[in-house]
């Protein structure tokens, strides 16, 4: 068994994400929104509000970056800032109805594009992608620091941990 080509994996992830974002924007005729803005909206699902510091922590961005993002997004009508109910000196942020609509359209177009693209792969390639999903999810969790050490016997012998073992 050969070692993973980490450089090759790293080199494909960023262009893949950019290509998917650009294709999704074009397909759904969405306005220009950065990855970071989409991530902010994703961090604010319907019915939730969070403080800017919590958003920064969740997205692993600096507080000043999130503050700038939120300022631009508020100007564009994508987020609403209001005083925190428990402490009027603090601010909480929630995604606007317009932002949630854009995100729903983005998410639907994104999924449809991936489905169309993967349909053009051969069955073995689709099976390999399907088998890689749990490992890619675990890799993401490791990189953002939310993954716990492997706790299952399967993990000790090199098998991919299950979704339940990551919780």
Residue 36 · residue 18 · CB < 8 Å? no
Residue 10 inside a domain? The answer is: no
Residue 26 inside a domain? The answer is: yes
Q: For the segment 93-143, what is each residue's pLDDT rounded down to a tens digit?
A: 999 999 999 999 999 999 999 999 999 999 999 999 999 999 999 998 898
Residue 116 · residue 108 · CB < 8 Å? no
Residue 4 inside a domain? The answer is: no
Residue 12 inside a domain? The answer is: no
User: Which residues neighbour 154 within 8 Å (Cβ) at sequence distance 6 or greater?
Assistant: 160, 161, 162, 165
Residue 94: per-residue pLDDT: 96
Residue 110 inside a domain? The answer is: yes
CATH for 94:
1.10.10.10
Q: Which domain holds residue 65?
A: 22-143
- The number of distinct structural domains making up the chain is 1
Q: For the segment 55-85, what is each residue's pLDDT rounded down to a tens digit?
A: 999 998 999 999 999 999 999 999 999 998 8
The angle at the Cα of 136, spanning 133 to 108, to the nearest 5 degrees, equals 60
Categorize the per-residue pLDDT at 149 as very low, low, confident or very high, splitting at 50, 70 and 90. Answer: low
Residue 108 inside a domain? The answer is: yes
């Amino acid at each position: 068994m050969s070692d993973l080509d980490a450089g090759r994996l790293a080199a494909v992830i960023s262009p893949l994400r950019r290509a998917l974002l650009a294709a999704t924007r074009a397909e759904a005729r969405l306005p220009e929104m950065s990855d970071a803005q989409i991530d902010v909206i994703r961090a604010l699902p319907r019915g939730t509000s969070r403080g800017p510091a919590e958003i920064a922590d969740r997205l692993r961005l600096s507080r000043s970056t999130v503050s700038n993002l939120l300022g631009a997004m508020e100007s564009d009508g994508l987020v609403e800032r209001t005083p925190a109910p428990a402490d009027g000196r603090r601010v909480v942020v929630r995604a606007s109805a317009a932002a949630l609509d854009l995100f729903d359209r983005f998410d639907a177009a994104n999924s449809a594009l991936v489905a169309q693209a993967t349909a053009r792969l051969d069955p073995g390639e689709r099976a390999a992608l399907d088998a890689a999903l749990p490992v890619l999810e675990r890799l993401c969790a490791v990189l953002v620091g939310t993954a716990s050490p492997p706790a299952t016997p399967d993990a000790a012998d090199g098998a991919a941990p299950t979704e339940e073992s990551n919780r």
